[in-house]
Structure 1
Amino acid sequence: MVALTLQSLHCAREGILDSRVAHLSELLQQKRLLFEAWTQERENGLIFIRKSPAIRDVLKNGTESSTAAARDLLGRYRINHSELSALTLINSRCQVVLASDAETQKQAQQLCAALQHELESRRHPMWHFAHPEGSDTQANAHLVLPIQDAHGEFIGHLIGTIRLQEMMFSMQGAGEFSPNSSLKLLLLRSANLECIAAPLERPELSGHPYALPTGFNRSGKEASLYSDAAGTPVLGAGIELPNVPWLLIAEVDQYEVFGMLRFLLRRAGYSFVAVLITVVVIALVLSNIIATPFRALKQVCSDIRSGGKRRRLGRFSTAEADDLANSFDTMMDQLEQTRQQLVQAETLAAIGELSASLVHEMRNPLNTVQMNLQALGAQAELDDRYRELYELALRQTNRLHHMLNELLNYGAKLELKRTDADLVALLGDVVQQFELRAEENDVKFMVSTKASPLTVHVDVEQMYRAIGNLIDNALAMSPAASTISITIEDITESTRITIADQGPGVQPALMEKIFLPMFTTREDGSGLGLPLVRKIAQLHGGTITVTSPPSGGASFQLMLPKGTFK
């Protein structure tokens, strides 16, 4: 337990550290973008000034009017930008031409002497840092911009002296940890790590080297734990600023960084005893909860083994035990369903034997009656009334023959004799058998096949019988002047034969019943045609389904799996 707690605290410390490092990294990236925008804004402002005709005229001609205009322009710009401490014009010979005041002119002369070589050789904007003599609190940066006349000839420089503390002040606030955070920002020279801009509460750091740990990362993506100049443990990270040789440092007190960890340590100590007691209590309760389902399962298994009536396990207090009970009950339901199917199969087999015997016993006298009726109709001269009765008796005899044949076919044990056959040709033969009957009823067939031939490995006789029963049923339900649509579709895992009529359709409550033996909605139906179709489909590994839209009509889909095909 103690080891687990210590490991958790270590993980929490690493997690807090990673979070603060990521925050510091994001913060430095934001500050870097702020600095880049801030410096670019200052450059754009001075670039606008250096393009002034008065500035160019002062550097080339030095007339009193142009000098006054240039001084007025520089003065007004400086007043509107508080971060500027001075603006100075230097000609191409590194001589001060115009300064905002006498003190600025003196410092500009010193700056020109220090930067003479760079001013003569460089013709593009540059930043230069200079810490003023006799000052420990204020650092300036000089933005030097070359000036060209209208013909592109170099004529001098414009130098803007910028207070770095103003720049640091403008970068405060965005993205920091909290209003009371110990976060501080420092600006160091990249080369010698001299502090050139420090927080307002630490002015003594300016102008002095700042100690950073060996291997301190300057990409802004990593942070280090070390002690700052005052000996305070901090978490710090740094990032190089664009276009200037400066390093921006962000530091936050380690006491603040790991404040949450100290809180967790205290809470861990207070909670240890309570957790220990709770664990003991929970263990006792859980042992009882876990044992209860197994005791119930054992009792149910004993009842089943002894032949008693099976009861369900029911529900338990835990989700896992409840899932186990549901799985067990589902398994028992499936076993019961399988048992009922076996009983049904045995019953069907018995029905098959009985129906074969009954059909054999009934067929001989029925044949005798039928032949006598045919002989009587051929020899006797019957009036219209008796002729109608004779034809009715003959039709009913033929119907009995048909019903006995269907009963024999349904009750018989079917053993498939699979051979290769063209399903399209097979369907055509079945349709041709019913064409005369369809013509008499004013019904048309519309057959649609996408592939011909389509070779299948089926029992041709049984498949012929199944499709024939579906077409016979469609003809019986179709009104005059209607169409029966027959299609063969090759889909992903199977091939579908669809036979759709335009009859009254099938009520939703009867869609499953019509496939049960001896159930029929037709006056002349035997109730065995569609059950026989399902039996043949299942023997081939397929299915038979029916759909019936509210608008009328029924559509039967005979699905044969891909395994049926060569």
Structure 2
Amino acid sequence: MSNSGGNGMRFGGLTSRVLVWMMLLAFVPMAIMTGQGYHCAREAILEETNEHLLSLATSRSALVSTWFAQRFSEIDVIASSPSVARCCAHFANLSEEDIDREATVMLRAVLGRVDSYDGIAVLGADGAVVARVSRDGTDTGDAGAYVRTGGILAADGEIEMLRPELDGNGNVVLFIGRHIQSGGSRQGLVVAKLNLTRGLEPLLHDRAGLGETGRTYLAWVDRSASSRAESKDAAHSVQILTEPLPNMDRVAMRRPLPDAIAARGLPGQVEHVEYTDERGKAVWARLAAVALFPMEVIVEQDVDEALAWIDVLLRRVAVTGAVTFLVILVVAVWTSRKLGEPLRVLARVAQNVTTGNAQDRVGPLSGTEAEDVRKAFNTMLDELAAQQRELVRTATLASVGELSSSIVHEMRNPLSSIKMNLQSLLRTVESDPGYRELADIAIAQVARLERMLNDLLQYGRPVEIRRQPMRFDDLARSAISLTVDQASKNRVRVVVEDELNDTALFVDSELMCRALTNLVLNGIEAAPQGGLVTVRGRRDADERAIVEVIDTGSGISSETLDQVFQPFFTTKPAGTGLGLANVRKIVELHGGSVTAGNGNGGGAVFAIRLPLTRENIA
């Protein structure tokens, strides 16, 4: 690793490369944004205008649809009236007074309440006029002729309408009709003449939100299969209600729709178009279909008005871009230096570890990502150190295993011969108390040697774990059953405290019972007569199972506390020093740990920590 550089930037180094790339990444978008500024600003303004026009078209289309729905509802009330149906069915037999009382009075009520009607008529099944009323008192026209020539009624009796037309006063009018049915048969027809100019202009020509050049108009778009080929013709696609421009009257404004609208295909969905209007100006328009009817509300606005602020926006974009570029330059320099610093620290620590300083670690770093890398790097070094220690320990155990197996094999036969001879000698000198005592001592020492050899063999022998779920209570009582004689002899009481209940310990029952038995026997030996040994199972804050063996003895001295699990270390005159070492080996094979300490009230505390399984024993 190179030792040069310090905090400076070297050409070709990470810091300089990061700076160059960040500047390029900042400059290229800025250059593109500057070159396309006009286009982007224009599109943004047109999009905003488009959405605004959409809102206006949709809201006013809803108002028109509601207006028509109200008119149809009023006509439907008349057509469904039993008295009107009776007048149609018995017209020849009724007097004018009867017809006036039964039908005409209802027509006058509707006409008087709603200003949008020029007239309403009730026709009989033969087309004869049964009753009619008009706003100006004149004839409403031959409504039967409208029915016959316009074909405004569908076979199923739904409400239909004729194509809007201009009347003699320049107003746009529209005939709508509804069949009168009674007893399953048609009795006649209700025809109403609507004045769209008087009824809809106040809704359509509200200037709110239209600016200086915006305008709204209503279009009749007939796109039936028979007329689709001629959809650009004024007879099929026309503006029927519009706000006149200066020097143009309503008749002149009744013109074909622009090609951009007329050629769209079937209506029914909101669309946006751009075209040149009758003044030769480019306009943007949004269209909204009137629900259930072949009409559309169209809202226009001049493109020039929409783009009036584009120069101001472009100047703002240029100033903002220059400031942004300077800010990015400063941030790029600072960021490139900050990104390089953690890598230099990591490289220095890695070099120290490779040269023998295995305890060196990376200190706190600024930045969340750098801190995460630091923790991962230090964790990796800790795990490597732990694995190295484990390798040393494993090699030591393997050596001890080979040595112990050899020793046990070589010593068992001579030791068995010595034991048999001493037992024979004991029978010979049994009558002599002095020699008998000597023989008993010799036999006891032979038994101690046998235990030591067995413990040594167990410690060095490879162990295969056979896990199975087991209750803590079952484990504790199995271990206690093997210590009953020793507890009775020492007059020590052994109790179980189970806080784990049915939580399963996934362990090798034989090995874990052996480890727990060793700890309980140690507790019995350490406790005074009348003392207590507690075997407790509980759960800690980390969701691990804790198995504790607590005695009321004198505890463990601070000098020996760190050595109790080392092989061949013992404070007992007849101990082998391998019991607690075997306990630690068994616990660690289960993925756990074992610790020794002293309780608050005196006495030793041995704690086995084991990972918990997710299963409970029923």
| TM-score computed with the length of structure 1 as normaliser | 0.65
Match for residue 459 of structure 1? none
Contact 1:147 1:158 in 2 (8 A): no
Match of 2:580 among 527, 531, 552: 527
Kindly provide the CA deviation profile for residues 196-254 of structure 1, in whole angstroms up to 9, marking residues without a partner as x. 12248887475333424274464434422223344443322335545433333233444
Match of 2:272 among 223, 240, 257: 223
Distance in 2 between residues matched to 1:517 and 1:157, nearest whole Å: 110
Match for residue 285 of structure 2? 236
Counterpart secondary structure, 1:135: coil
Distance in 1 between residues matched to 2:438 and 2:176, nearest whole Å: 124
Distance in 2 between residues matched to 1:324 and 1:422, nearest whole Å: 37
> Kindly tell me: are residues 503 and 11 of structure 1, through their superposed partners in 2, closer, same or farther at Cα, counting changes over 3 Å?
farther
Match of 1:197 among 222, 227, 241: 241
> Kindly tell me: are residues 389 and 140 of structure 1, through their superposed partners in 2, closer, same or farther at Cα, counting changes over 3 Å?
farther
Kindly provide the CA deviation profile for residues 420-477 of structure 1, in whole angstroms up to 9, marking residues without a partner as x. x9999xxxxx9xx99996999999xxxxxxxxxxxxxxxxxxx896366368569979
Distance in 2 between residues matched to 1:160 and 1:317, nearest whole Å: 81
> Kindly tell me: are residues 20 and 370 of structure 1, through their superposed partners in 2, closer, same or farther at Cα, counting changes over 3 Å?
farther
Match for residue 177 of structure 2? 144
> Kindly tell me: are residues 302 and 49 of structure 1, through their superposed partners in 2, closer, same or farther at Cα, counting changes over 3 Å?
same
| TM-score computed with the length of structure 2 as normaliser | 0.60
Kindly provide the CA deviation profile for residues 397-438 of structure 1, in whole angstroms up to 9, marking residues without a partner as x. 75764354223321x26387x9xx9999xxxxx9xx999969
Counterpart secondary structure, 2:346: helix
Distance in 1 between residues matched to 2:366 and 2:125, nearest whole Å: 92
Note the residue ranges of structure 1 that are not aligned, 5 or more in a row.
425-429, 444-462, 480-501, 538-542, 547-552, 560-566
Distance in 2 between residues matched to 1:84 and 1:378, nearest whole Å: 142
Counterpart secondary structure, 1:89: strand
Match for residue 185 of structure 1? 216
Counterpart secondary structure, 1:194: strand
Partner AA of 2:462 in structure 1? L
Match for residue 134 of structure 1? 168
Match for residue 11 of structure 2? none
Contact 1:84 1:161 in 2 (8 A): yes
- The alpha-carbon deviation at position 268 of structure 1 amounts to 0.9
Distance in 1 between residues matched to 2:447 and 2:308, nearest whole Å: 99
Pick which of 205-214 and 470-479 moved more.
470-479
Counterpart secondary structure, 1:106: coil
Match of 1:51 among 58, 75, 80: 80
Contact 1:28 1:238 in 2 (8 A): yes
Distance in 2 between residues matched to 1:151 and 1:226, nearest whole Å: 51
Match of 2:514 among 448, 464, 469: 469
Kindly provide the CA deviation profile for residues 479-526 of structure 1, in whole angstroms up to 9, marking residues without a partner as x. 9xxxxxxxxxxxxxxxxxxxxxx9533685994999x99559xx9992
Mapping of 1:18-167 within 5 angstroms?
35-59=64-88, 60-61=91-92, 62-69=94-101, 70-101=103-134, 103=136, 105-109=138-142, 112-113=144-145, 115-118=147-150, 124=157, 125-136=159-170, 138-149=171-182, 152-163=185-196, 166-167=199-200
RMSD: 5.6
- The alpha-carbon deviation at position 3 of structure 1 amounts to 1.9
Contact 1:186 1:250 in 2 (8 A): yes
> Kindly tell me: are residues 165 and 327 of structure 1, through their superposed partners in 2, closer, same or farther at Cα, counting changes over 3 Å?
farther
Partner AA of 2:165 in structure 1? H
> Kindly tell me: are residues 238 and 367 of structure 1, through their superposed partners in 2, closer, same or farther at Cα, counting changes over 3 Å?
farther
Match for residue 278 of structure 1? 327
Pick which of 295-304 and 112-121 moved more.
112-121
- The alpha-carbon deviation at position 87 of structure 1 amounts to 1.8
Pick which of 138-147 and 48-57 moved more.
48-57
Kindly provide the CA deviation profile for residues 310-349 of structure 1, in whole angstroms up to 9, marking residues without a partner as x. 5433334444444443433333233233333334335545
- The alpha-carbon deviation at position 366 of structure 1 amounts to 10
Identity of aligned residues (%): 21
Mapping of 1:319-334 within 5 angstroms?
319-334=368-383
Match of 2:386 among 326, 337, 341: 337
Match for residue 3 of structure 1? 32
Contact 1:139 1:206 in 2 (8 A): no
Query: Given the alignment of the two structures, is residue 414 of structure 1 paired with residue 447 of structure 2, yes or no?
Result: no
- The alpha-carbon deviation at position 277 of structure 1 amounts to 2.9
Distance in 2 between residues matched to 1:33 and 1:478, nearest whole Å: 89
Distance in 2 between residues matched to 1:48 and 1:91, nearest whole Å: 17
Mapping of 1:485-564 within 5 angstroms?
503-505=535-537, 511=546, 518-519=564-565, 526-534=579-587, 543=591
Contact 2:119 2:135 in 1 (8 A): no
Partner AA of 1:274 in structure 2? V
Pick which of 82-91 and 180-189 moved more.
180-189
Distance in 2 between residues matched to 1:26 and 1:150, nearest whole Å: 46
Contact 1:57 1:63 in 2 (8 A): no
Match for residue 232 of structure 2? none
Distance in 1 between residues matched to 2:256 and 2:307, nearest whole Å: 28
Contact 1:505 1:554 in 2 (8 A): no
> Kindly tell me: are residues 292 and 96 of structure 1, through their superposed partners in 2, closer, same or farther at Cα, counting changes over 3 Å?
same
- The alpha-carbon deviation at position 127 of structure 1 amounts to 1.0
Distance in 2 between residues matched to 1:309 and 1:90, nearest whole Å: 108
| Bigger relative contact order (CA 8 A; separation at least 6) | 2
> Kindly tell me: are residues 289 and 467 of structure 1, through their superposed partners in 2, closer, same or farther at Cα, counting changes over 3 Å?
closer
Mapping of 1:398-413 within 5 angstroms?
398=447, 401-410=450-459, 412=460
Distance in 2 between residues matched to 1:327 and 1:555, nearest whole Å: 26
Distance in 2 between residues matched to 1:259 and 1:477, nearest whole Å: 95
Note the residue ranges of structure 2 that are not aligned, 5 or more in a row.
1-29, 223-235, 470-474, 488-493, 496-507, 525-533, 550-561, 567-571, 595-606, 614-618
